[in-house]
Amino acid sequence: MPLSSARSVAGDASAKGCAREPAGSPRSTDGDLGARRCGLAVRTAPAGGRAPASCTADGCIEDPPALADGPTTTGRLFLFVSPAASPEPRLQSNASLFGVDVRGATAGQRIAVAPATPGSPEATLADLAPGEYYVQALYNRYTEFHRADGHVIWAHMDQWEGQHFARSPGNLHSVPQKVRVGPGASAELALTLDQIIPPVVVPPDTAWVKRLKFQSPLLSKFWGRPMFLGATVLLPLGYDAHAAVRYPVLYIQNHFSLGAPFGFNPTPDPAAKKSWARLRAEAAAQHLPEPVLPPGATATGAYGNTESGHEFYESWTSADFPRFILVTFQHPTPYFDDSYGVNSPNCGPYGDALLQELIPAVETRFRVIRQGYARLLSGSSTGGWGALALQLYHPDFFGGAWAFSPDPVDFRAYYGGVNLDTDDNAFVEKTAPGLEGGGRSNRRGSQRAAVLGMEDGRFEWWKHTPAGPDGYPLPVWDLSTGRIDRAVVAAMRANNFDLRDYLARKWPEIGPSLAGKLHVHAAATDSFYSNFAVHLLEEFMQGTTAPHDPGTFRYGPPASRHGWQPTTNAELLQAMARHVAARAPAGEDPAAWRY
């Protein structure tokens, strides 16, 4: 939300209706909250108090905040409320969340969080049900960006944590307090932002895993301040011993992570722990039926054919396994933990930065086969959309994309199953089989998006929509009413973000270069309803001509959910190796990387 529409009340604006009393633990205090009347007063640490260092032994915080000596700071104040004490409310995914913008806060200042403060899932703070809760305040600090497009905006500068504001270095938070919501209280409950989140500890390089991070000239120019790109690289067995060999490369797009690709982990799993993939493989080896899923489990994640990190390590280091270089991108934006890997009005030239800066940096440092046939793409969810987009936008530069549960690839089946061309409102329920609950899902997601403010945690629109007159992203639909903005939809399509539409318009030009390169996988039931868009994409591919290329489409079993994939990661790489070998041009020897 633009700060011009901030709802915060700065200064000595104490909210009444809360009682507070000391508790036995130094990490919490007890109090009462007058039901439907109580607000909170949050203050920054007092002048002369505990100020954060910008650097520690673990690393540095970009643009560190001032706590004690007078400069103002702008951001968004969040209140986390949970009936559970552990972990801290800010680290609980199911905690109730309330948010308010803050402009120009100073050390020691009091900021009122009124009963009418909007929240999720509760509509407002006043709507908390009677009971006992743990309450914690967190201040998400914003940076002022003077962008190359002429706009000046405030947003959170990622600290290499992947835009997780609840654990972003430099952000401030309070000690959790235990409170009781109910009638009869009359005093104020105060929380003090006197805790500082420390810098991220980047895992050290190993013989297998290497990391890159550098300032991007393209992105820094757009955002008007230093911006960074990075990558985590997994090297194959025998990389140093086979110094003359160059390897095919898989560029993996998923949400921000500093972990090794595919969870690669040399540390053995606990003796009694086996992934669903391992249990399935053992049953097949003994000619037994596939194991039955545990009660309540669905075929996704650990139960969706994805092996554990150590099981993948065992495959990666085994004999006769294809030798690849695996690369995961780090490309967080001021709005979200990844950019989708494309150029966009609100995030700038991330697509150019990946193609012109990050990938060349990887391929200069490591012995990659620098030809299109040997550059592959994969990703799940957001990364699935990004992998498809990169392949479609650069059909010769990459040799194939494997997308799993991609975000909506057709605007006729957008989030919640909404048809952005014919539907007027994203909150209206549909009656078609499989689309039940889509309107409710969109309504709840929109409510949370409004509370998060500049942090895009639900629809990830910020990469795709046009910027408004104030420089901030325009939503596809009104977050309060659900009314779809046709002008925004048209602008998104004009920028080629409706991938099925882009493919249909460009097929005569790019189709010959894409033949055999598109592999799309979707769950039977996707929590974001994106499987319906995959079906529409498949329908288009089935009708292609000159050339006719139906692509490869696979759908999960009835129990499958968002994130499902049909094979283990090791099996995926085996298939990719066959794909690369079959397309190697004359003079290339795939046997060189099959040692």
pLDDT (tens digit per residue) in 427-474? 999 999 999 999 999 999 999 999 998 776 666 666 789 999 999 999
**11: three-class secondary structure by DSSP:** coil
pLDDT digits (tens, 9 = 90+) for 312-338: 999 999 999 999 999 999 999 999 999
CA nearest neighbour of 373 among 532, 225, 560, 577: 577
Residue type, 66: A
pLDDT digits (tens, 9 = 90+) for 498-526: 999 999 999 999 999 999 999 999 999 88
Instruction: Determine the Cα–Cα distance for residues 409 and 553; give it in Å rounded to an integer.
Output: 14
Homologous superfamily of domain range 209-266+293-410+500-593: Alpha/Beta hydrolase fold, catalytic domain (3.40.50.1820)
CA 252 to the chain's CA centroid: 14
Backbone angles phi, psi at 455, to 5 degrees: -85, 110
CA 576 to the chain's CA centroid: 25
Strands (E), 106-161: 110-113, 119-120, 131-141, 143-146, 152-155
Residue type, 459: F
CA nearest neighbour of 417 among 529, 562, 537: 529
Evaluate if pTM is beyond 0.75.
yes
Question: Which burial class, exposed, middle or buried, applies to 380 when counting CB atoms under 10 A from its CB (0-12, 13-18, 19+)?
Answer: buried
- On the question of a cis peptide bond just before residue 408, with omega within 30 degrees of 0, the verdict is no
Return the domain boundaries, the chain: 3-196, 209-266+293-410+500-593, 415-494
Give 348's strand partners.
344
Residue 580 neighbours by CB distance under 10 Å: 26
Question: Which burial class, exposed, middle or buried, applies to 296 when counting CB atoms under 10 A from its CB (0-12, 13-18, 19+)?
Answer: exposed
What does the pLDDT profile of the chain (595 residues) look like in tens digits? 222 222 232 322 223 233 333 333 333 334 444 333 344 567 655 544 443 334 444 444 454 444 433 466 899 999 999 999 999 999 999 999 999 999 988 888 888 888 899 999 999 999 999 999 999 999 999 999 999 999 999 999 999 999 999 999 999 999 999 998 877 554 567 899 999 999 999 999 999 999 999 999 999 999 999 999 999 999 999 999 999 999 999 999 999 999 999 999 999 988 777 777 777 777 778 887 777 766 655 554 444 568 889 999 999 999 999 999 999 999 999 999 999 999 999 999 999 999 999 999 999 999 999 999 999 999 999 999 999 999 999 999 999 999 999 999 999 999 999 999 999 999 999 999 999 999 999 999 999 999 998 776 666 666 789 999 999 999 999 999 999 999 999 999 999 999 999 999 999 999 999 999 999 999 998 888 999 999 999 999 999 999 999 999 999 888 788 988 889 999 999 999 999 999 999 999 999 999 9
pLDDT of residue 476: 95
pLDDT digits (tens, 9 = 90+) for 208-244: 999 999 999 999 999 999 999 999 999 999 999 999 9
Instruction: Determine the Cα–Cα distance for residues 317 and 208; give it in Å rounded to an integer.
Output: 11
User: Which residues are CB-neighbours of 355 under 8 A, at least 6 positions away?
Assistant: 394, 397
CA 232 to the chain's CA centroid: 17
Q: Which residues of 399-433 are buried (b: 16+ CB within 10 A; e: fewer)?
A: bbbbbbbbbbbbbbbbbbbbbbeebeebbeebeee
DSSP 299: B
Question: Which burial class, exposed, middle or buried, applies to 170 when counting CB atoms under 10 A from its CB (0-12, 13-18, 19+)?
Answer: buried
Give the tokens for residue 189.
Answer: 């409950």
